[in-house]
């Protein structure tokens, strides 16, 4: 079984913001997997699916970003899922808008949601799909930037990135993380 968590903040005021890139990818993935019912479980909205012979639990933590780890810890403990079977999708200000990067493990890189997950799981050995939202423009407050919404051409780039990230998740499940990482990360460098 895999737990696939998209990070974001609950509530209408945060919908479609850069910081909710993880929620957006989970929505695209749920549509592809035909997940039609969501339960409030493990401090999250949770949907179940099957893909490539694997049971999947899709999560959108409802704890706010800084406490995302509480939701993942609850689900991982309940289903007895180890960190190597947890996949987390988050926004990344260090990647250009629309770019993707996949990692098998690592640090939080300054991302409070990832920090919370590492702290709660006691491990950074989970798969990450990072969706680039671009760096904040000069003079902008970081919080204002990530809680803002992309517009025009940037919004189109982000929509494509959400769809590409959902495809990357399916590729990880089908082909494995190493092959997908090589394919996606190499494409992103070119």
Q: Which residues participate in catalysis according to the annotation?
A: 19
Q: Is 2 annotated as a binding residue?
A: no
**Regarding beta strands 44-51 and 54-61, do their DSSP bridges make them parallel or antiparallel, or are they unpaired?**
antiparallel
Q: Give one DSSP letter per residue of 122-177, joined into a string.
A: T---SEEEEEE--PPPTT--HHHHHTS---HHHHHHHHHHHHHHHHHHHHHHHH-H
On whether 162 is known to bind a ligand per the annotation, the reply is no
Query: Which helix or strand (DSSP H or E) is residue 24 part of?
Result: helix 21-32
Give every strand in the sheet of 2-6, ordered side by side.
39-41, 44-51, 54-61, 2-6, 86-92, 127-132, 100-103
CA–CA distance, 3 with 59 (Å, rounded to integer): 7
Residue 64 among known ligand-binding residues: yes
H/E element holding 76? helix 68-79
Confirm whether residue 120 is marked as ligand binding. Answer: no
**In contact, 172 and 178? CB cutoff 8 Å:** no
Binding residues: 14, 64, 66, 112
Binding residues for tRNA: 14, 64, 66, 112
């Amino acid at each position: 079984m895999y737990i696939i968590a998209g990070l974001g903040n609950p509530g209408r005021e945060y919908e479609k913001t850069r910081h909710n890139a993880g929620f957006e990818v989970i929505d695209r993935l749920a549509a592809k997997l035909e997940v039609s019912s969501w339960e409030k479980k493990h401090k999250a909205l949770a949907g179940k699916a099957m893909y490539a012979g694997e049971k999947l639990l899709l999560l959108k933590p409802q704890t706010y970003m800084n406490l995302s780890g509480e939701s993942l810890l609850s689900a991982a403990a309940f289903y007895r899922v180890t960190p190597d079977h947890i996949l987390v999708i988050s926004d990344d200000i260090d990647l250009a808008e629309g770019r993707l990067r996949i990692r098998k493990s690592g640090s939080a890189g300054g991302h409070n949601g990832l920090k919370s997950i590492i702290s709660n799981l006691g491990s950074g050995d989970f798969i990450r799909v990072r969706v680039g939202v671009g760096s904040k423009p000069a003079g902008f407050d970081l919080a204002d930037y990530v809680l803002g919404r992309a517009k025009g051409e940037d919004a189109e780039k982000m929509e494509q990135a959400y769809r590409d990230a959902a495809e990357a998740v399916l590729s990880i499940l089908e082909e494995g993380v190493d092959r997908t990482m090589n394919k996606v990360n190499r494409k992103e460098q070119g």
